[in-house]
Amino acid sequence: MSIIFPMGLLAIFTLLYSAVMITGRKKAVTSGDLKASYFKEYNTDTPPSYMQKATRQWTNLYEVPVLFYAVCAAILALRLDDMIFVYMGYVFVSLRMVQAFIHTTYNNVYHRLLIFSCGMIIVLAMWVRLLLMV
């Protein structure tokens, strides 16, 4: 088992989640909740909540995970890949998926914050562990 698998899983999840965002945008336009012209400059109208949540979550998948991808790339480059890093990677990816579910469905801010914080701790722990190993 290698850290490349959780990396790949998160990348695939991010790309597949794009469909959720695109579907929400299409629904907003076809239902009349938003004019298509909104997407030219993103400064007119207020998008419906269901579209905003999906778009914000999609954006989140390009923020903190960058630190995850970076630590994983360093782990691979330095050949320090081991099962502890792999398990940490899978936990982080699982937390990102749970956060996406919460954000896109019932959107409880406290639940989202808890899951987000746990993910941040995992990535921090991965970086600290990596730095202690080199």
The CATH number for 66's domain is: 1.20.120.550
Total domains present in the chain: 1
Residue 125 identity (one-letter amino acid): A
Asked if residue 40 has pLDDT above 90, the reply is: no
**Cα separation, 8 vs 37, whole angstroms:** 35
Domain boundaries, position 51:
4-133
Residue-wise pLDDT for 54-94, tens only, equals 998 999 899 999 999 999 999 999 999 999 999 999 999 99
pTM, to two decimals: 0.88
Residue that the structure tokens 């290698």 belong to: 2
Residues of the chain with pLDDT > 90, as a percent, come to: 81
38/122: higher pLDDT: 122
